[in-house]
Each structure stands twice: as structure tokens, then as C-alpha cells.
Amino acid sequence: GIQVEQSPPDLILQEGANSTLRCNFSDSVNNLQWFHQNPWGQLINLFYIPSGTKQNGRLSATTVATERYSLLYISSSQTTDSGVYFCAVRAGDYKLSFGAGTTVTVRA
């Protein structure tokens, strides 16, 4: 099956800092999503981005499908940005394959 690698595994930021999370995948995909898992466990949709660039407030994402990677940018980080960020991809079948996640801690 498709392999999804996220880096870095852990990230500690000072409030107001910017950061970049990376997702590499091993095959062509027809679906790529970024999620933020809050402390209560819910997966919050950030982006549906199989290709191209999208922005939503302080967050933006870019997927370069031909090179099999996606980037999630967090600007002017806030303590509420803390949590685990997951990249998930689908390669033509019915299931999403998740990476192991990046744990982000934003300190005030």
C-alpha cells in the first residue's frame, strides 16, 4: 500500500512563529487531506488539496503531486494551534492512508 511520511515528528514553537510541516507519499494520489486533531481526539478538516495551493487564514497548503509531497504552513502560530497534524492520502481505492502525524506545541 501507499506509504505516507510526515516530518518533523515533533515541533515546538514560540507563539507568533511560523512553521512548515511536510508530507511525502510513495505513489500517485487522487485525494490528499490535512487534518488537525484536537486534544479531545476530533479530526478537524484543514484542507482537501490533491494538487495546487490553498489558503485559509493563517494556514496554507501546497501539494506538488508530480513530486509526491505536500506542505502545510502555519503562520503567526497561536497556542490554539497546538495538537497533532495529520496528512492523509488516497491512491485510487476507497481508504485514506494516514501518516504518523506531527505533534505541534505552541508556547505562550
* Residue 74 vs 96, nearer CB to other proteins: 96
Tell me if 48 contacts other proteins by CB under 8 A. yes
Interatomic CA distance for residues 49 and 52, integer angstroms: 7
Question: Which of these ranges, 15-23, 52-60, 71-79, 94-102, lies near other proteins under the rule CB under 8 A?
Answer: 94-102
- DSSP symbols for 46-77: EEE-SSEEEEETTEEEEEEGGGTEEEEEE-S-
d(CA 76, CA 44): 19
90 lies in the binding site for other proteins (CB under 8 A): yes
Minimum CB separation of residue 43 from other proteins in Å reads: 4
H-type alpha helices, the chain: none
Question: In 3-state terms, what secondary structure has residue 65?
Answer: helix
DSSP annotation of 94: S
Among 42, 51, 55, 76, binds other proteins (CB under 8 A): 42
Toward other proteins, which CB reaches closer, 40 or 108? 40
Binding site for other proteins (CB under 8 A): 4, 30-31, 33, 35, 40-43, 45, 48, 86, 88, 90, 93-101
